[in-house]
């Protein structure tokens, strides 16, 4: 059994000698043992690796062809006990035609041969001189070198290791075809495409190959594994670089250092369930089935006892919404531009004279204020049309209040302060409510008082209320219904809490020193609604993450639950791996229970959220990305 759909894939570049089949088989066997010991379920080797790819007209020699057949038999025998599927390349003579094939070997048996479809005849490679393309095949199976055992051969083979792991093979230049075999293989169920290759190294080709591997994995919504021939090939008129790449659904996850003189193996732990979920719900993958019709594929079973996967080679970031450091500046700029462009358009459509926003000195209102600033710049408007309110209440601390005031002033917005305590006390009196009771009523009266002020001020000034609530809060329902839950446009609705910190830090790097210092202090302030009185020393006492659990965990659960349908057990296991050494098992477990309970019970708030721009691949608007009944029963997800 795999570990929650994860399987380890390997691309190996062994040492080879030109036409020295015995040596090459020994190296392939040793490399397969290495890959199996590392827990790989599948390993792919370079094109024609049994003989080497540079034998040229020696491929016509019966001595070499016979040695290749015997070498394949030896390889199968010597790897028979290993729980791994191996793909090796060799020349295969069929009906007086020579084919460049990949042999899929498992359990001491050759399970199938896949011939190369695109056999180049170009300046640097006259492969057509020796080999025929797959289209010239006249049979769909072959006797295994004179034995009674018949082996399927063709480009229509899909190899099935389990319900989750199914793979196909295309060889070298096949990937460059206008309609590569991998397209058909993926559409017919292969979640992995293996590409054994052998091309000479030319300046820039490594980058091109890497880009191609990433692109093919994205187009096929699959894992794509490339293994290129190494420096042991002939250097008569060029040298092979031995590149190995693995990409998953448009993301590079592993690559080697080329031109290695010893065995080079790269691994990736790939979530096949995730690929299936991506094909099911987040892409137009199945629409492509309408573009072409092919005969049904032939399924070849390769049953192995897949070793448990420890996720050592998994791409599993703890904060999946946060861009990698090398991409952070570009991605943050893009996100802020999306938010600002959306708000600017809404201002124009609403003929809004002012932008009314409540600024608390917390993360969400800080980001929303920065977006208002950008939107005004896009429209050529002065920031004095931004009416920024601070509305101190029973829980407001000096730290957040001072940061809010400073930001408003430094950005040149129109500042207004309304202390809501007196109004809330009057409302408590109307409700016959004792304010000594720190209940939801005590908190929500404050939140709704603030929203009432913002809405009415927008009416008075011909403006619109800019909402500040973020994706994390929307997912958890951590908002007062018809309080901070409501606005006229929610600019943060698709941005989770973990990403907001990143965006504010990016804004700080672009800001003047005084504003930058304020922004960084906002990032360092504990997250709180500040609806309960502070501690005796004036510091925040009501800390959201002490109540709900860390937002980093909630965002992690949200990402894998919404995007890939991960079940609770899998969410727990992935989080324990991703946050190892940061959060203990008890905290992960309690936070997961909170996430699931609140996600299912708070849908009624999401059903009527205001408009707002989608920024990333996850949003919870009922008009677009997420549609769920408000009265759903979530007990299936709550089981221990």
Render pLDDT for 79-136 as a digit per residue (tens, 0 to 9).
999 999 999 999 999 999 999 999 999 999 999 999 999 988 765 567 888 999 999 9
Q: How many CB atoms lie within 10 A of CB 105?
A: 26
Residues 339, 251, single domain; the answer is no
Number of domains in the chain: 2
pLDDT at 441 over 80: yes
Residues 290, 418, single domain; the answer is no
Instruction: Give 234's contacts (C-beta < 8 A, 6+ positions apart).
Output: 18, 52, 54, 56
Q: What are the angstrom distances between the C-alpha of 440 and each of 212, 263, 479?
A: 56, 64, 11
What percent of the chain lies above the pLDDT cut of 90? 82
Distance CA 331, CA 601 (A): 33
Please report the pLDDT score of residue 467 as a whole number.
97
Of the candidates 272, 274, 241, 275, the one whose C-alpha atom is nearest the C-alpha of residue 259 is: 241
> Cα 195 to chain center, whole Å?
22
Residues 478, 534, single domain; the answer is yes
Residues 547, 464, single domain; the answer is yes
pLDDT, average across residues 323-335: 95
Residues 335, 296, single domain; the answer is no
pLDDT, average across residues 202-223: 91
The H or E element that residue 447 is part of is helix 440-461
Residues 232, 288, single domain; the answer is yes
Are 269 and 312 contacting, i.e. CB atoms less than 8 angstroms apart? yes
The parent domain of residue 394 ranges over: 325-638
Residues 191, 255, single domain; the answer is yes
pLDDT at 629 over 70: yes
Please report the pLDDT score of residue 355 as a whole number.
98
408 in any annotated domain: yes
310 in any annotated domain: no
Distance CA 1, CA 497 (A): 36
Q: Which two tokens stand for residue 486?
A: 């409501």
User: Which of residues 168 and 284 earns the better pLDDT score?
Assistant: 168
Please report the pLDDT score of residue 283 as a whole number.
62
Are 493 and 613 contacting, i.e. CB atoms less than 8 angstroms apart? yes
Instruction: Look at residues 268, 301, 334 and tell me which one is the last residue of a structural domain.
Output: 301
Distance CA 431, CA 343 (A): 37
Sign for the CA dihedral angle at 499, 501, 502, 508 comes to: positive
313 in any annotated domain: no
Query: What's the 3-state SS for 308-368?
Result: CCCCCCECCCCCCCCCCHHHHHHHHHHHHHHHHHHHHHHHHHHCCCCEEEECCCCHHHHHH
Residues 25, 170, single domain; the answer is yes
Q: Which two tokens stand for residue 283?
A: 């892409």
542 in any annotated domain: yes
pLDDT band at 549 (very low <50, low <70, confident <90, very high): very high
Q: What are the angstrom distances between the C-alpha of 448 and each of 96, 156, 452, 544?
A: 84, 63, 6, 19
Instruction: Look at residues 237, 268, 301 and tell me which one is the last residue of a structural domain.
Output: 301
Residues 275, 412, single domain; the answer is no
Residues 442, 523, single domain; the answer is yes
296 in any annotated domain: yes
Residues 342, 422, single domain; the answer is yes
Distance CA 362, CA 545 (A): 14
Specify which residues 113 forms β-bridges with.
Answer: 103, 153
45 in any annotated domain: yes
Distance between start and end Cα atoms, the chain? 21
pLDDT at 433 over 60: yes
pLDDT at 293 over 90: no
Are 575 and 592 contacting, i.e. CB atoms less than 8 angstroms apart? yes
Distance CA 231, CA 18 (A): 11
pLDDT band at 155 (very low <50, low <70, confident <90, very high): very high
pLDDT in tens, 132-152: 999 999 999 998 765 567 899
pLDDT, average across residues 330-338: 97
List the CATH number of the domain containing 46. Answer: 3.60.110.10
List the CATH number of the domain containing 332. Answer: 3.40.50.620
Distance CA 308, CA 305 (A): 9
306 in any annotated domain: no
pLDDT in tens, 484-513: 999 999 999 999 999 999 999 999 999 999
The average confidence (pLDDT) of the chain is 93
pLDDT in tens, 348-405: 999 999 999 999 999 999 999 999 999 999 999 999 999 999 999 999 999 999 999 9
1 in any annotated domain: no
pLDDT at 281 over 90: no
Question: In 362-439, which residue ranges form alpha helices assigned H by DSSP?
Answer: 363-379, 398-410, 421-431
Please report the pLDDT score of residue 145 as a whole number.
64
Residues 267, 330, single domain; the answer is no
């Amino acid at each position: 059994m795999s570990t929650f759909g994860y399987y380890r894939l390997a691309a190996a570049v062994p040492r080879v000698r030109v036409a020295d089949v015995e040596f090459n088989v020994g190296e392939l066997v040793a490399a397969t043992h290495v890959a199996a010991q590392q827990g790989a379920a599948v390993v792919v080797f370079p094109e024609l690796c049994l003989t080497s790819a540079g034998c040229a007209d020696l491929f016509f020699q019966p001595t070499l062809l016979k040695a290749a057949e015997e070498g394949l038999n030896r390889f199968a025998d010597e790897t028979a006990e290993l729980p791994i599927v191996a793909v090796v390349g060799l020349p295969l003579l069929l009906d007086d035609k020579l084919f460049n094939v990949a042999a899929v070997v498992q359990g001491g048996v050759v399970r199938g041969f896949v011939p190369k479809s695109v056999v180049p005849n170009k300046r640097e490679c006259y492969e057509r001189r020796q080999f025929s393309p797959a289209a010239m095949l006249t049979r769909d199976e072959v006797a295994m070198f004179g034995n009674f055992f018949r082996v399927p051969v063709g480009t229509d083979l899909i190899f099935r290791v389990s319900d989750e792991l199914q793979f196909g093979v295309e060889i070298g230049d096949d990937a460059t075809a206008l309609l590569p075999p991998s397209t058909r293989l993926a559409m017919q169920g292969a979640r992995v495409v293996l590409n054994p290759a052998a091309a000479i190294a030319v300046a820039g080709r490594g980058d091109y190959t890497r880009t191609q591997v990433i692109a093919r994995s994205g187009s096929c919504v699959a894992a794509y594994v490339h293994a290129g021939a190494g420096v042991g090939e002939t250097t008569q008129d060029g040298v092979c670089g031995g590149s190995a790449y693995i990409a998953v659904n448009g993301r590079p996850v592993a690559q080697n250092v080329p031109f290695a003189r010893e065995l080079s193996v790269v691994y990736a732990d790939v979530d096949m369930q995730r690929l299936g979920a991506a094909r099911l719900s987040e892409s137009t993958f199945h629409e492509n089935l309408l573009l072409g019709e092919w005969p049904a594929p032939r399924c070849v079973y390769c049953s192995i006892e897949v070793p448990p996967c420890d996720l050592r080679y998994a791409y599993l970031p703890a904060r999946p919404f946060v861009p990698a450091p090398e991409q952070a500046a570009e991605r943050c700029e893009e996100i802020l531009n999306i938010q600002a462009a959306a708000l600017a358009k809404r201002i124009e459509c609403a003929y809004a004279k002012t932008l009314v926003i409540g600024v608390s000195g917390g993360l969400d209102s800080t980001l929303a204020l920065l977006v208002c600033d950008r939107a005004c710049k896009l429209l050529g408007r002065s920031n004095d049309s931004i009416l920024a309110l601070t509305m101190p209440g029973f829980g407001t601390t000096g730290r957040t209040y001072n940061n809010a005031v400073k930001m408003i002033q430094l950005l040149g917005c129109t500042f207004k302060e309304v202390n809501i305590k007196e109004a809330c006390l009057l409302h408590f009196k109307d409700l016959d409510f004792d304010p000594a009771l720190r209940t939801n009523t005590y908190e929500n009266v404050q939140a709704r008082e603030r929203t009432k002020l913002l809405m009415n001020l927008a009416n008075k000034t011909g403006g619109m209320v800019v909402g500040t609530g973020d994706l994390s809060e929307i997912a958890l329902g951590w908002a007062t219904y018809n309080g901070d839950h409501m606005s006229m446009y929610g600019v943060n609705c698709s941005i989770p809490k973990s990403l907001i910190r990143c965006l504010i830090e990016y804004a700080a790097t672009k800001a003047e020193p005084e504003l930058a210092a304020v922004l960084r202090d906002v990032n360092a302030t504990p997250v709180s609604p500040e609806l309960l009185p502070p501690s005796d020393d004036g510091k925040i006492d009501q800390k959201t993450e002490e109540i709900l659990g860390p937002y980093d965990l909630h965002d992690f659960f949200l990402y894998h639950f919404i995007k890939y349908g991960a079940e609770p057990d899998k969410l727990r296991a992935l989080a324990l791996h991703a946050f190892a050494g940061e959060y203990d098992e008890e905290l992960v477990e309690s936070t997961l229970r909170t996430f699931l309970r609140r996600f299912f019970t708070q849908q009624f708030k999401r059903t009527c959220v205001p408009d707002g721009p989608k920024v990333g691949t996850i949003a919870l608007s009922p008009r677009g990305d997420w549609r769920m009944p408000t009265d759903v029963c979530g007990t299936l997800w709550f089981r221990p």
